[in-house]
């Protein structure tokens, strides 16, 4: 497999970083997760530009200097996929990191390296739906960490949540914030349906500004599904008529159980999931601008 590293495609074994990198030791880096879908005729990268723009926003938030534009990074993603000759569904991982060794915590002025890898990727969570648990680990607060940035170090929080949920026999975690409001899964945004309304936590509750989340909000508007961005209590989560996770890896995944409480796989979840699938395969003309063809 070939990986793009600072303008060159190299073999995976050549893509190396020093063990003294502050990105490895202190979590000072940012990354993205992007999907590409094989339609049978072409490979489409979904919302590539938006992902690269968020990548650069994340870097700016934590003070990491990335020497590329969103356009240059988008072209690098296509180059990486073409260079590997992929013609199947993919997961694409750009990451910005410090490649030079440094022990000091003063990372000012250090320019980032960027690597882009792509690999064949199927379903991340169970298509039929997942059993979720509200875990004891709280989502880090925006006053403690820059939660709007998709930063590598913040994901220790997600790892701890995911490990706890799986150790308890569940498929995925749901985290609350410091105020006890529902925020997100270990790597996904959360939606619920109550009384005909689609609901999702607002940005100010400390969620990641998800691109799939924004996609679902757009789809819901186009389908005429009323939507509220509002704080969600744990009780509302338990009382939901439907619930689902969304994310690049998770796509649209129904939540069929929360802390032992059974939820149906309802019609709103299904409509959104079916529309999303048609969009990413290039079968909805209205949304073709969201797709970047590789070939």
Tokens representing residue 110 in the block: 């250090």
Q: Is 123 a catalytic residue?
A: no
Look at the alpha carbons of 102, 107, 112, 115 in this order and tell me if their dihedral is positive or negative: positive
Residues forming a β-bridge with 119:
91
78's enclosing H/E stretch is: helix 70-84
Contacting residues for 258 by C-beta, under 8 A, at least 6 apart: 131, 132, 133, 134, 174, 237, 238, 240, 243
Catalytic residue among 150, 181, 230, 286: 150
The SS3 assignment for 258 reads strand
Coil vs helix vs strand at 73: helix
Q: Show the tokens assigned to 18.
A: 């020093």
Q: Of 23, 113, 5, 21, nearest to 67 (Cα)?
A: 113
Task: Compute the distance between CA of residue 279 and CA of residue 276 in angstroms, rounded to an integer.
Answer: 5
What are the residue numbers of the active site? Answer: 150
């Amino acid at each position: 497999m070939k990986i793009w590293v600072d303008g060159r495609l190299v073999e995976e074994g050549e893509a190396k970083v020093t063990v003294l990198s502050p990105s490895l030791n202190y979590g000072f880096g940012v990354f993205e997760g992007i999907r590409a879908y094989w339609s049978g005729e072409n490979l489409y990268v979904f919302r590539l530009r938006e992902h690269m723009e968020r990548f650069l926003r994340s870097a700016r938030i934590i003070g990491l200097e990335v020497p590329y534009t969103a356009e240059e990074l988008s072209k690098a993603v296509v180059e990486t996929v073409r260079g590997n000759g992929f013609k199947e569904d993919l997961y694409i991982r750009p990451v910005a990191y410090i490649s030079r060794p440094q022990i000091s915590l003063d990372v000012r002025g250090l320019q980032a390296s960027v690597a882009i890898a792509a690999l064949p990727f199927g379903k991340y969570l169970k298509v039929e739906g997942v059993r979720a648990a509200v875990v004891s680990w709280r989502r880090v607060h925006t006053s403690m960490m820059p939660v709007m940035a998709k930063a590598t170090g913040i994901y220790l929080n997600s790892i701890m949540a995911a490990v706890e949920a799986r150790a308890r026999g569940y498929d995925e975690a749901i985290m609350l914030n410091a105020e006890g409001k529902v925020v997100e899964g270990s790597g996904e945004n959360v939606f619920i349906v109550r009384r005909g309304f689609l609901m999702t936590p607002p940005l100010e509750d400390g969620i990641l500004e998800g691109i799939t989340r924004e996609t679902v909000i757009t789809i819901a508007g186009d389908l005429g599904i009323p939507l509220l961005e509002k704080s969600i209590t744990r009780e509302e989560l338990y009382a939901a008529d439907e619930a689902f996770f969304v994310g690049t890896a998770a796509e649209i995944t129904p939540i069929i159980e929360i802390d032992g409480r059974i939820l149906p796989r309802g019609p709103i979840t299904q409509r959104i999931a079916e529309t999303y699938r048609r969009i990413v395969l290039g079968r909805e003309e209205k949304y073709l601008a969201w797709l970047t063809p590789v070939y």
